Structure 1
Amino acid sequence: MADDNSSEDSDVENQNEFAGVLSKWTNYIHGWQDRYIVLKNGTLSYYKSEQERGYGCRGALSLAKAIIKPHEFDECRFDVSVNDCVWYLRADSIDSKQSWVEALESYKVESGYGTGSENSLKRHGSTVSLQSNTYSTASGSSFKRSSRNIREKLAEIETFKDILCRQIDSLQKYFDYCVEDANHKLPDKDNLPVVDFKGEAITFKSTTAAVIDTLTHCAELVTQREESWHKRLDKEVDRRKKAEALSHSYFMQIQKIRTVHPGPDLEEGPHSVLADDEFYDAVESGLDKMEEEQELRERLKNGPAIPESPPPVSPAIHHRLWPEIDRTVTEQVAMARMGIGECGSGWQLFAEDGEMKMYRREEEVDGLVVDPLKAVHVVKGITGHEVCHYFFNPQYRHDWETSLENMSVIENISEDTVTFMQVYKRIWPASQRDIVFWSHMRKLPNEKDRDGPDIWTVVNNSTEYPEYPANNGKCVRMSLKVCLMCQTRVNPPKDGAPLSRSDVSCKITYCSVVNPGGWAPPSVLRAVYKREYPKFLKRFTAYVINQTKNKPIMF
């Protein structure tokens, strides 16, 4: 019966166990590592792997006063903290993370922690305790000889005790005979035992001296052991002091890394010393600084506008890039003309401001976020030709592209096709980016019963030039595919009045896919997209309105 009950109890325990593999943040050197996490009896413990579970856990937390907090940006991450101890955990999917969070919260609610000793943190055979046991066994072996010597000396004392007892018995028997003889009670004096007092005295002295020597030796052995333990204690204290000093030195180095901006290899990568939220804060600060610089430049900008001068004309149709340009433009325009429902499932509305709506699909390639983005915006007072003109023309790019550090035209293929080399301002802690791409502008043919009378598009697409190799130097090469399609809408004025800018508007469809090239936290990139893309469209369209308000309408 006892065996049956114990097996039933073990089955109940196994049913209450929740376990699986999660990524756990270890340190700044090794970053995220897979660990086998077990939730059982109100205790969260972790092992290096499921196979090492029998060797003891590497750490444990009681859920009695634990705080479970999902991460703000990373949808697969959650933190478990008890006082100053925090475990940073990450699941491989949103559903897995949600299951873990619900399991942890349910244990806190159902178990009623904090009242009995059974709910307190149980001792686990951690690797530290395993090492301590091994160390104790090894250190005990160093005293086997001294322990054996003490046992041998105790056995000698036992032998000496037997010798002394026999001597005492012999003397006692002799004295008893002497007393009887003195009282004339001894019938036969010939049977009086003969005692060698000299020999017995020598033996007694030798025995007692040996006892004293043995006890002295035992005391010396005990003293030696005590001194040895003191030495080991001193060594352990020194070792801990050195470990604390090393830990403090390591902490100061980490602080130095955080304070002084290191090179790109240390700043950007899967083992970045910055957490995702710190990484995003740094990127956000850099973007804010760029906006402030742009505002200052606008305030200081005086004098007449730069006169427009079209680039030299060349037959793009005969250029080596023309097949790629024509094919890409056709594909991107077709995608831009599709509605959100037609493009397939997965589009999410992530920003909306008046007439402007922005959608995205979450996609990653080799661990890099390349979310396709689509925006629809309606702006009054400008035409599609004007929007595409200022978006395409190189002479205006520095005015509205606030993130540019340097821009150069590699090749003027024709009046409607140009290849660019652009270097973007560095936003710490990310590495600096550059890009090589061609840009093509054209007026689109009208599709009956669908498009308006005037439709223009600009398509930008990454390309390669041997003279501008990728990832050569301090910059990381990024890639993009952008389509800006603009449709002019005209509301004819009444009573034959002349057409004014209040009678025209432009429907803008903006599609883009950007591959950042180097590593950055996915949550950071998506947060930047959510912040920057709506601001970009509003800033650029405001720029076009300001440039065209006193000029004739361009169709």
Structure 2
Amino acid sequence: MLFMRRAESGYGSESSLRRHGSMLSLTSATSGYSATSTSSFKKGHSLREKLAEMETFRDILCRQVDTLQKYFDACADAVSKDELQRDKIVEDDEDDFPTTRSDGEFLHNHNGSREKLFQSLSTKGINGIDFKGEAITFKATTAGILATLSHCIDLMMKREDSWQRRLDKETEKRRRIEEAYKTALSELKKKSHFGGPDYEEGPNSLINEDEFFDAVEAALDRQDKIEEQTHTEKSRVHRPSPMPSADVYSTMGTHRFAEKVEEMVQSHMTYSLQDVGGDANWQLVVEEGEMKVYRREVEENGIVLDPLKATHAVKGVTGHEVCHYFWDTNVRNDWETTVENFNIVETLSDNAIIVYQTHKRVWPASQRDVLYLSAIRKILANNENDPDTWIVCNFSVDHDNAQPSSRCVRAKINIAMICQTLVSPPEGDRAISRDNILCKITYVANVNPGGWAPASVLRAVAKREYPKFLKRFTSYVQEKTAGKPILF
């Protein structure tokens, strides 16, 4: 505070400022540049110019700090030397005059030492500083910095708005291009019905999964409508089918595939009849009344191999009747809507045949064919309280007379229809009627479709088609057996 007061009183005078023109020039330059910065802000200089202004402001502030620091360092140095000098004088005086000096004399000597202090500062070239002027300069400089920063912020916001408008324009342009692309792609798909392998099933197909599924679903809907129109005509046609004796269904057979058939039958009797309701690996995908359809997701090399299992309970029919209509090729076209044509490649025995069939093509998927052995068996119960079990096994085999061709994709299957008949005893002495019988059905299907169809499409189609097939087939059996003697 001592140095500050001295600077304001003595070294802040006009004569002192004239002796130190360098400080005046610094102050005047700062004030002048602050005025310039304000005008340039109003004119709206660019960001680079504003940055250069802030660099200048920084230099001015740094020079002010350096000047003040040098001044106070010189003051501190002069004070230190003055104290050493006064200590020496006091020691000399005490030697000459042992008595204590008066307060006035002591203050006189102290004032003299202060005069010596400022003389020392002058001899070192440290002139007084106009603190008021420096304060004004500091305020003007900081105000200029704030104004420049505000201007920079405004410029950045304007630039950001400009970029946002450009982004909006580009986004809108991209949206229009994408819509045009989708329209053009849709037109190409319409033309692909007349050919074009790039829009069919395959590893390089140009159709994505959603479009693939939409096309398949539309084709299946068309087939359903055609099937509804022809259902009445099919039901009017009567196709009698021969019924072999029960002993034929119970025997294993002596043909070359007999052991394979027996292995398949025993496997299905052991594993397919197990309850999967509490198994976390099986997912319940459809539940309609008594029918439940489960699926276990399995993929191999990108091909969906999902095992499927369905349980159902149908009143008024027996297991023998359900399996007979499922196995008999004479009535196959009455209830099977997906088969284009089929033929019996070889008859192995009265209850085992080899069948080749091609399925109707559903664009854009490739056409499928399958070659399989179909066998029907009756498995006698181990005790009289358990019902007999009827089963039809269809599993893929190879045959020289039905080799794979490039026209179709060969699918592999392992399918079983397993049925058991439950009888509710009628009241009194009444004969058993169809109201007293219930058929429990277990249907399992393991299908390898081959080809390159998307997994999501295959799963969606399976979820739709399997329940529909089971309902259609069981309704057909009920219709065919109504009013006829019960075939146990």
State the TM-score, normalized to the length of structure 1.
0.53
Distance (whole Å) between structure 2 residues aligned to residue 336 and residue 424 of structure 1: 26
Q: Which has the higher strand share?
A: 1
* Corresponding position of 1:458: 392
Which residue, 273, 277, 284 being the options, matches 2:217? Answer: 284
Q: Distance in 1 between matches of 2:188 and 2:456?
A: 26
CA distance in 2: counterparts of 1:250 and 1:353, whole angstroms: 38
Residue in 2 aligned with 1:7?
A: none
Distance 2:413 2:390 in 1: 20
Supply the distance in 2 between the matched residues of 1:386 and 1:543 (Cα, whole angstroms): 11
Q: CA deviation at 1:302?
A: 6.5
Residue of structure 1 in register with 2:271 after alignment: 335
- Partners of 2:310 and 2:354 in 1: CA distance: 25
* C-alpha spacing 1:116/1:386, structure 2 compared with 1 (3 Å): farther
Among candidates 431, 445, 467, match of residue 498 of structure 1: 431
Residue in structure 2 matching 1:273, options 206, 220, 227: 206
Counterpart in the other structure of 1:144: none
Q: CA deviation at 1:338?
A: 1.1
TM-aligned CA deviation for residue 460 of structure 1: 0.5
- The 2-side partners of 1:115 and 1:334 are apart by 77
Match of 1:400 among 335, 348, 354: 335
- Cα RMSD (Å): 3.2
Which residue is 1:384 aligned to? 319
User: Structure 2 counterpart of 1:395, which letter?
Assistant: N
Distance 1:529 1:302 in 2: 26
Q: Tell me the amino acid that sits aligned with residue 281 of structure 1.
A: D
SS in structure 2 opposite 1:318? coil
**1:127 corresponds to:** none
Counterpart of 1:297 in structure 2 is 230
The answer to whether the 8 A contact 1:264-1:429 is kept is no
- Aligned residue number for residue 259 of structure 1: 191
- Name the residue aligned to 1:322: 258
Decide whether aligned partners of structure 1 residues 331 and 397 sit closer, same or farther in structure 2, where only a CA change above 3 A counts: same
Contact kept? 1:392, 1:441, Cα under 8 Å: yes
User: CA separation of 1:302/1:539 partners in 2, compared to 1, >3 Å: closer, same or farther?
Assistant: closer
In the alignment, which residue of structure 1 is the partner of 2:465?
A: 532
Q: Does 1:352 align with 2:284?
A: no
**Contact 2:209/2:456 (CA < 8 Å) preserved in 1?**
yes
Structure with higher Rg: it is: 2
The amino acid across from 2:275 in the alignment is: G
Q: Distance in 2 between matches of 1:265 and 1:253?
A: 12
- Give the whole-Å Cα distance in 2 for the aligned partners of 1:308 and 1:397: 11
Structure 1 residues 249 and 459 mapped into 2: Cα distance closer, same or farther (>3 Å)?
A: closer
Match of 1:79 in 2: none
**2:432 alignment partner, SS class:** coil
Superposition deviation, residue 337 in structure 1: 1.6
> What residue is the counterpart of 1:429 in the other structure?
364
Residue identity opposite 1:390 in structure 2: Y
* Contact 1:457-1:485 within 8 A present in 2 as well: yes
- In the TM superposition, 1:163-202 aligns within 5 A as none
TM-aligned CA distance change 1:421 to 1:251, over 3 Å: same
Distance 1:264 1:317 in 2: 46
Question: Is this contact kept in 2: 1:452–1:488, CA < 8 A?
Answer: no
The answer to whether the 8 Å contact 1:374/1:511 transfers is yes
What code does the residue aligned with 2:365 have?
A
Structure number with greater CO (CA < 8 Å, separation at least 6) is 2
Question: What displacement does 1:250 show?
Answer: 12
Equivalent residues of 1:452, 1:489 under 8 A apart: no
Match of 2:421 among 488, 496, 504: 488
Contact 1:310-1:415 at 8 Å conserved across structures: no
Paired with 2:182 and 2:469, the residues of 1 have a C-alpha distance of 42
Question: 1:442 aligned to 365, 377, 384, which one?
Answer: 377
Counterpart of 1:339 in structure 2: which amino acid?
D
Per the TM alignment, residue 307 of structure 1 is displaced from its structure 2 partner at its CA by 1.4
Alignment of structure 1 residues 24-173 onto 2, 5 Å? 117=160
Aligned 8 A contact 2:295 2:306 in 1: yes
Flag the 1:303–1:542 CA change in 2: closer, same or farther, 3 A.
closer
C-alpha distance in 2, partners of 1:304/1:258?
A: 38
Provide the residue aligned with 2:34 in structure 1.
none
Q: CA separation of 1:254/1:496 partners in 2, compared to 1, >3 Å: closer, same or farther? A: closer
Kindly, what percent of the aligned residue pairs are identical? 44
> What runs of 5+ residues in structure 1 fail to find an aligned partner?
1-113, 124-247
CA distance in 2 between partners of 1:259 and 1:115 (Å): 50
Change beyond 3 A, Cα 1:274–1:507? same
Aligned residues: 316
Q: Where is the helix percentage greater, Structure 1 or Structure 2?
A: 2
| Aligned counterpart, 1:206 | none
> Which string of whole-angstrom CA distances, capped at 9 and with x for unpartnered residues, describes residues 46-65 of structure 1?
xxxxxxxxxxxxxxxxxxxx
CA distance in 2, matches of 1:420, 1:311: 19
CA shift for structure 1 position 448: 4.3
Report Cα offsets for 1:219-258 as digits up to 9, x if no partner.
xxxxxxxxxxxxxxxxxxxxxxxxxxxxx99985883354
Task: Using the TM superposition, give the Cα deviation of residue 263 of structure 1 relative to its aligned residue in structure 2, in angstroms.
Answer: 4.5
Instruction: Please give the secondary structure, in 2, of the residue aligned with 1:426.
Output: coil
